[in-house]
Amino acid sequence: MKNILFIEDEAVMQKAVSEFLGVHGYNVISALDGDLGINAAKSQKPDLILLDIILPKKDGFDVLKELKEDEATKSIPIIVLTNLSQMNDVSKMMEMGVTTYLVKSDQSLRDILAIVQKTLEEG
């Protein structure tokens, strides 16, 4: 079973995504802030990370920077899942090495599942 780390401070979103991906055969690890997310990524080495940008303690940019600087976590594919859709946020995240940038409000859970599956297949 593939492990997915979901770094997101909204409990309802955590629950919905975990439930949906869980039913489709994924184990979702939850982290409710940036610090917890970094620790979970380092200790549990997930196969994929879903990352929000607006987070308590450390925001998505800081989390991404730290994970990309660490040899142990830098190759984990990261999908940004946020409601920020400004072009400068998208460009900055892409330059920092995220695999995919998704705007939450435009995605269904099925869309997210398809992109997770595709990202994991591509390795």
Partner 1 sequence: MKNFFKDIIRQLDIIGQCGKYNVPLRQCPQFLFLIMGIITVAAMLAVYFIGLYYNGDPEKIALVVIALATAMMVLSFIIVHSFEQLAETSRLKTEFISIVSHQIRSPLTNLKWIVEILTSGILGKTENKQSEYFKILKENLERMQKLVSELLTVSRIEATKLILKKENFSMENLARDLVSEFAPISKSSHVEIKVITEGKVPKVCGDPFQVLQVVENLVYNAIRYIGFATDNADNAANAKHGEVEIRLYGKGKYVYCQVKDNGIGIPKEDQKYIFQKFFRAENVRRYQTSGSGLGLYIAKNIVERSGGKIGFLSREGEGTTFWFRLPAASNHKDKTANKIQKINPKFNDKQNQNIKS
Q: Where are the beta strands (DSSP E) in the chain?
A: 2-7, 26-31, 48-51, 78-82, 100-103
Query: Is residue 57 exposed (0-12), middle (13-18) or buried (19+ Cβ within 10 Å)?
Result: middle
Contact 90, 112 (CB under 8 A): no
The one segment of 32-40, 55-63, 68-76, 106-114 that binds partner 1 by CB under 8 A: 106-114
99 lines the binding site for partner 1 (CB under 8 A): yes
Q: How far is the CB of 98 from partner 1 (least distance, A)?
A: 8
Beta carbon nearer to partner 1, 23 or 72: 23
Residues 78-97 that bind partner 1 (CB under 8 A): 83-88, 90, 94
**Which residues lie near partner 1 (CB under 8 A)?**
10, 12-13, 16-17, 19-20, 23, 83-88, 90, 94, 99-111, 115, 118
